[in-house]
Structure 1
Amino acid sequence: EDINSSQLAELEDDIQQQLGRTEERVRNEERKKMEGVMATMQRKHEDEVADLHATVDQLLKNQASSGLKESKEEVLKLNNQITDLLQQNEQLRGSLLQARTHISILHSELDKLKNIYTDQKAQHDRETEELKKMVVEYQSYASQIQIL
């Protein structure tokens, strides 16, 4: 009986350790995914801004050699591109906020599951103790019956 109790305790400790490692791994994976998404979005944004700057520089160089009409058209085109990029940037920020919200929800659900696990473990411990008491009581009754 003591062996079963110690094995049960070891099993519960192992489960608790596995749960802790799993939680940590999930957190790290989610953090790495979020960092990757953010880095990709940042690189894309920086690349687009650099492209726009290069285009503006090229337009300024060409402005001296080309007619004023063409320059105005290019400026309008660039303004439209800038507007499009600003809209994309806002959409990316919205997506990032949504992803962060989703991660917060997942963390909340993980905490809820941990609480449920803790409650179930406590219930299991209480039931185990109750069963141990019943076994001891049964053994006591059995020995008393044998004595009689």
Structure 2
Amino acid sequence: MLAPTTFGSRSWDPFADMRRLQAEMNRLFDDTGTLRTTRVYPPVNIWLGDNSVVVTAEMPGLSHDDIELTVHDDTLTIRGERPFAANDNEVAWHRRERASGTFARTVELPFRVDPDQVQARFQNGVLAVEMQRPEQERPRRIAVSTS
């Protein structure tokens, strides 16, 4: 890290101004909740197998009836609705970081998947969707002859 620069009897640290500006921006976003509510929902993880892909999504507070899944070629779409709190109109919120309402999240998969080979499980607020690559699109080892 660079040392502060001295101007006359005062020293000036250029990074101190940057840290103050960053802290102020963080405070502004945290107070309104804007930063958190604009994040993509639900957050997902994607794992690759040899011929499969697994997508997990965190959706606390939902049931399996609240979730709709569609698969087309190399995309998975997760749709649903997070219910509004019963007393939404009766309270003055101090902080609200968990948004309510409908959501849709579409993720691009690394390859086309077979819609007949999809398994979805929902347990403890985590959705796990395992999808298989179609047999005809799986990589094949080709034998090389010497003649």
* TM bracket, shorter-chain basis: under 0.3
With normalisation by structure 1, the TM-score equals: 0.21
- Higher share in strand: 2
TM-score (norm 2): 0.22
